[in-house]
Amino acid sequence: MMIFLRILAAFVLMGIMALVAIIWLPVSRSPLSESVPADWTASPGEGEYVMRAGDCMACHTAENGPDFAGGRAIESPLGTIYTANITPDPETGIGSWTLPQFRAAMIDGLRPDGAHLYPAMPYENYRMLTERDIRALYSYFMDEVEPVNSPVPEPELPLPFNQRWGIRVLNWAILSHDNGFDGTMGDPVLDRGQYLVEGPGHCAACHSPRTVYMGQDGIAAGEPDFLTGGFIAGQEAPPLRGQGSRIRHWPIQELTTFLATGRNFESTANGEMGLVVDHSLQHLTDDDIIAIARFLRAADRLQHEAPEEAVATGPLSIPYAQANAEGADTARMLTGAQPDMPLGARLYLDNCAQCHFVTGRGSPGIFPALQGNSLVTSSEIAPLVSIILQGARVEGTEKRPMPLVMQGYKDRLDDAEIAELASFLRQAWGNAAEPVTEAEVAEIRQSGEAIGH
C-alpha cells in the first residue's frame, strides 16, 4: 500500500512539474533560416506584395472596419476568437514591436511576452516564410500601414481553452517542421509555386484535412494528405490533388483563370475562396499565378506546361455547352418537360435553367456548371442552400471586372420547395449526393447567413 501511494505521489509530482515546466519554462524562438545582410531593405512594393500573397487583409480586417485593425470574429467549435490589430498603433496594435518580435509571431506563434497565439493565425504555414519576406512584411506594416487605435475583444473561450499555455503542448505536435523554405521540386518556377502555396498562400490551412490535434494533415509537398481536401467555416475546400480532385481535369489555363479571377469555364469561387481571390490571388503577377498552377499539377504528377498568360485576353466566347454523357438523361428529361416531371426538376426548369441550362453545364466564365460541382454535392449543404436562398456574388477583378451576381429565391420558394430543388441538383446530371430535407432548409433559412461577401 505504501509503495503504491509513493508511486502515486511520484506521478502527481511529475505531473505538477510538467505543468510548471509548460507554463514557466522560457519559450524558444526559431533560429534564422538564412542570413540576410544587415543593411538589406525590401524594394518598394515588396512588403505589400508579400502581404497580398499571405492574405493578411482577409482575416485582419473586420467587415467595414479599417484595414488591418483586426476584430474579425473567427468561429471555432470551442468558441469565438478575434483577429489582432496589426496596424502600427503602439497601444492597441504592433507599433512597438521589434522585427524579432514580429518574426516570432509569424513563425513561432509567439507574442512579445511569450504568450502563444491561437493557431487560427496560420503560423504553421507562415513558418515557411523566408527571412527576407518576413523583413519586407515588417517594414510594410511599420511604414506603410495607417495606425488605428482600436482594441479588439478578448477571445470568448471556456476553460481550459482560454489558457494560452495549453497551445504550447499543441505546438509541440504541429510546429515540428523547420522554419524557412527549401524548394524540393528541382525547378525554379515550380519551387516558386511551391513556396507560394506552402508558405504565404497557406492553401493547406483550408485544403488539407486536419489531424486529431487539429493541426494540418499535410502542409508540404510529399506528405500523403497534402491538399487532399478539408473543411473550413462550414464549407468544403475541395481536394486540389488526387483522384477525387476536379481541377486535375481542368486545362491548366482554366486553373490559372480561376485563381486570378475567381471564375473559369465551369466554376466560380464562393465564400472563403472568393475572399482568397479577392484579397490575395488576383493581386499576384501572372508569373506567380502560373507558378502556383504548375506546382499544383506537378504535386499531382500531371503535365504542367506554362500558358503564355494567366488569363487569356480578348473577347470571351460563350458557346452553348452540350450535355455530356453523364448529363444526357437529365437534359432530355428537362427538355421533354412532361407534366409528371418531379417537383425539383420542374422548379429547376422554371427558375434556374435559363442561366445554368438544361445541360447543367452553365456558360463559360459567367454561369457556373452545377454538374460535378463540389459545392452542389458537398456533405456541407449550407453553402448550396444559402446560395439558393440568399443568392451569391463573385467580385470583379482587374482582369474580369464584371461581378457575377445571382439573385436569391428566399421570397419565391418555400422550405419544402428548396429541399426538393436542392435534392434534384444533388442527383441530376450524374451527381450522386444525399437529398436535403425541409427541416435542414428551415434551419439554414433561420440563420439568415449568406455565403462570403
Q: Under rule CB under 6 A, which residues in 234-293 are in contact with ligand HEC?
A: 235, 237-238, 240, 246-247, 258, 267-273, 276, 292
**Annotation-wise, does 283 bind a ligand?**
no
Helix 188-198 and helix 286-299, axial crossing angle in degrees, nearest 10: 90
Binders of ligand HEC among 45-64, rule CB under 6 A? 51, 54-56, 58-60
Nearer Cβ to ligand HEC (69/276):
276
Nearer to ligand HEC, 15 or 342 (CB): 342
- Given candidates 74, 78, 170, 343, which one binds ligand HEC under the rule CB under 6 A? 74
Is residue 111 a contact point for ligand HEC (CB under 6 A)? yes
Angle at 235 between CA 191 and CA 352, to 5 degrees: 110
* Identity of the residue, 17 or 22, whose beta carbon is nearer to ligand HEC in the bound complex: 22
Return the residues of window 369-408 that contact ligand HEC according to CB under 6 A.
370, 373-376, 384, 387-388, 392-394, 404-406
Binding mask 14-43 for ligand HEC (x = CB under 6 A): ------------------------------
Would the annotation count 177 as a binding residue?
A: no
Residue 416: partners with Cβ closer than 8 Å, 6 or more residues away: 438, 441
Could you tell me the three cell numbers for 346? 420542374
State the alpha helices, DSSP H only, in 300-342.
328-336
Q: How far is CA 85 from the centre of its chain?
A: 21
The interface region with ligand HEC, picked from 5-13, 39-47, 313-321, 348-356 by CB under 6 A, is 348-356
Minimum CB distance to ligand HEC, residue 293 (Å): 8
86 binds ligand HEC (CB under 6 A): yes
Binding ligand HEC by CB under 6 A: which of 104, 367, 372, 419? 367
Query: Among the residues of 233-285, which ranges form H helices?
Result: 252-261, 271-279
12: region left, alpha or beta (phi > 0 left; psi from -120 to 50 alpha) = alpha
Nearer to ligand HEC, 13 or 398 (CB): 398
**355 known ligand binder:** yes
Is residue 204 a contact partner of residue 225, using CB atoms and an 8 Å limit? no
**CA nearest to 56, candidates 42, 75, 70:** 70
The residue among 3 and 379 lying less far from ligand HEC, judged by its C-beta, is 379
Smallest gap from Cβ 235 to ligand HEC, in A, equals 4
Angle at 393 between CA 232 and CA 346, to 5 degrees: 95
- Known binding site for heme c: residues? 56, 59-60, 203, 206-207, 352, 355-356
Annotated binding site: 56, 59-60, 203, 206-207, 352, 355-356
